[in-house]
Structure 1
């Protein structure tokens, strides 16, 4: 029991510090690190297979509430956030996140693993191959197109347990926004996703069997507290470095790591 607790604490500490830094540096919310680490730890601790992926995703989303706000505040001080975009996109992102959390409550573990693995491959491809100078449109979409794209970002991110930054950065750069502004503004997408989606996971998992101790639905309270504190420490560091470092080499190396993690999660789903 002591060994299990030590493993849990050590894994949370490492994941929290690294996820906060990655979230601030790349504007991706840190969930791409937290979800697979939590899933592996919960597996090692013998948590019921039927709920372990739900807990990993729900707990990850709860921690992104802290990470995204700290990153957003740091980017705001640098003058890089387009708040007009946030105000226009946030309602649709939030709606998509609520729908995504509801769907996740109905999904089984294999479905969530497939969604996470497939979505993570998209994130890895975007980070590894996308050129920030590529342009498909001269401006961001409005009307029904904006509602559909923003809603899809919220839905997929809520089912994956990530902040939506990777998808948001891709959309914004393809629509002509500078990369630093895209990263800064997309960090705010996490705020629109995380809080409503985390509440959705609490409600969807309330009273379910097989939950570990000190859980509120599909959110682990100890995991939330520890990860939120640690990610809040390192997120501003990553956000500050985002404005100083050439990111191409770092992003490609990290994209390879994400791709390997994604393949492993898909293997888990199909075996």
Structure 2
């Protein structure tokens, strides 16, 4: 089998894993894809992060979004629009900073970020369940004053780490707008439908002299398939169990990053 075919298949498997995680937890999948691209294809930290962002340019999360909506879970398109607009500014700045950091420190910083994320997620206090049949999602206050900072911060984190920004968006939406876990996950997935990672991909591709586009094609295809499967499971699982499972997965990915360094 040619190296190009091997890269495509490796990208497909990596994208499938990332897609399942994305559909399950509402994240961009970078938590899994960045470590696996480094471990399986030996991409350095910068190219792994850039490739992950590039794979998310296509609306690969659309099957998962449709699955959430078919289960009666909804979000606000106005809020999604505000989050996306602010995200575009943040990801450009975050990617610029990331490409000024050498690969080894960037990789260790990425692992440390995953550990902190896992601990924060696991110990985050759950809000009381919200009955949307009685209390609709209230966006009368904070649409811009809270939504824009959340989107901006998510963009900066995404540019720095190659993650989709959901690691910031989901907990902040749950606390600020009192969204349920599933509503916050749907909102995060809806943000991925437009090519919001384009400014970051441009910075990474220019700084790294291009990106492995064959691998990226496989990742994008695998992600779309996996996201649908993950979403079908997520809509049937209690939010608290999703949160705990996500924390465990993030810790495992941090361990993979550390082991790769050894």
TM-score by length of 2: 0.81
Pairwise mapping of residues 103-142 of structure 1 onto structure 2 (< 5 A)? 103-133=97-127, 141=142
Gaps of 5+ in 2: 130-137
| Matched-pair contact (CA < 8 Å) for 2:11–2:217 | no
Change in 2 beyond 3 A, CA 1:199/1:252: same
Pairwise mapping of residues 65-214 of structure 1 onto structure 2 (< 5 A)? 65-66=57-58, 67-77=60-70, 78-133=72-127, 141=142, 143=144, 146-175=147-176, 176-191=178-193, 193-206=196-209
Q: CA deviation at 1:133?
A: 1.4
Distance 1:196 1:134 in 2: 38
Q: CA deviation at 1:254?
A: 4.2
Distance 1:200 1:236 in 2: 30
Q: Does 1:25 align with 2:18?
A: no
Pairwise mapping of residues 221-236 of structure 1 onto structure 2 (< 5 A)? 221-236=213-228
Which structure shows the bigger proportion of residues in helix conformation?
1
Greater shift, 92-101 or 235-244, is seen at 235-244
| Matched-pair contact (CA < 8 Å) for 1:75–1:239 | yes
TM-score by length of 1: 0.78
Distance 1:29 1:36 in 2: 14
Q: How many residues align?
A: 249
Match of 1:238 among 230, 254, 258: 230
Gaps of 5+ in 1: 207-216
Change in 2 beyond 3 A, CA 1:159/1:71: farther
Distance 2:97 2:128 in 1: 34
SS at match of 1:65: coil
Change in 2 beyond 3 A, CA 1:64/1:125: farther
Change in 2 beyond 3 A, CA 1:229/1:6: closer
Distance 2:66 2:93 in 1: 27
